[in-house]
Amino acid sequence: MTLHNYSNVVRVDIDKLYLAKSLDEDHSIEVKKKNFIVLLLGYGYPEYALDLRAKAKDVLRNRGFEVHIMRDIETLPDEKLNDKFRRILRDYSPKLFLILISQNLGASGVSYEVSLLVERYGQKEASKMIRMCVGKRVDMKVSLIQYVTELDEIVIKEYDDNDFNDMIRVMEDTIIDAINLNT
């Protein structure tokens, strides 16, 4: 009786299955990214904070994500900022609200937007749709009003301050996590 060692054959087949599954998941993410609309929120002032958000949006869009910031969306004649925000919610139907907090600045605008999201979707649903990417040295109590910091369900991811690439990596991972949870 001859015993054959097929462990290498089985191992190769298992490796092929893992690779095929991984490629399927990567393809699936690429397809899902195009239909998963992200509204990137954050500081509108000072100008360099808004420019950082715009630069992050450009990088993420170049990587296939459907990311928007309010500045790039046309403001209608006589349209107030909160009306524009509500119109964006209605017309774009974002699946994720990604908030970039890059320094200790008062974020009353972001806090207001979060309150509008809670009003529109309810606290439980809004909390599932909101993610924050925060610099490690940012004091959240300075950057957001207490109402927002007490929303325990909101996912907060930290990135290394002054490291744009790490910020983008964390934002990208955060969006992919949200895509996987919502699809």
Q: Please report whether residue 4 resides in a domain.
A: no
Please give the chain's pLDDT, 183 residues, in tens.
555 554 444 444 555 544 444 445 566 888 888 889 999 998 877 888 889 999 999 999 999 999 999 999 999 999 999 899 999 999 999 999 999 987 756 566 777 888 889 899 998 899 899 998 988 888 776 666 566 656 667 788 999 988 999 999 999 999 999 999 886
Q: Looking at residue 87, which CATH number applies to its domain? A: 3.40.50.450
Q: Provide the domain limits for residue 55.
A: 34-182
Question: In this structure, is residue 112 part of a structural domain?
Answer: yes
The whole-angstrom separation of Cα 107 and Cα 79 is 22
With CA atoms as reference, report the closest residue to 96 among 150, 55, 36, 53: 36
Does any domain span residue 169?
yes
Q: What is the DSSP string of 52-112?
A: HHHHHHHHHHHTT-EEE-GGGSPPPTT--HHHHHHHHHHHH--SEEEEEE-SS---HHHHH
The H or E element containing residue 37 is strand 37-42
In a domain, 74, yes or no: yes
Instruction: Note the pTM of the prediction, 2 decimals.
Output: 0.80
10 found inside a domain: no
Q: How many structural domains are present in the chain?
A: 1
Whether 47 maps to a domain, the answer reads yes
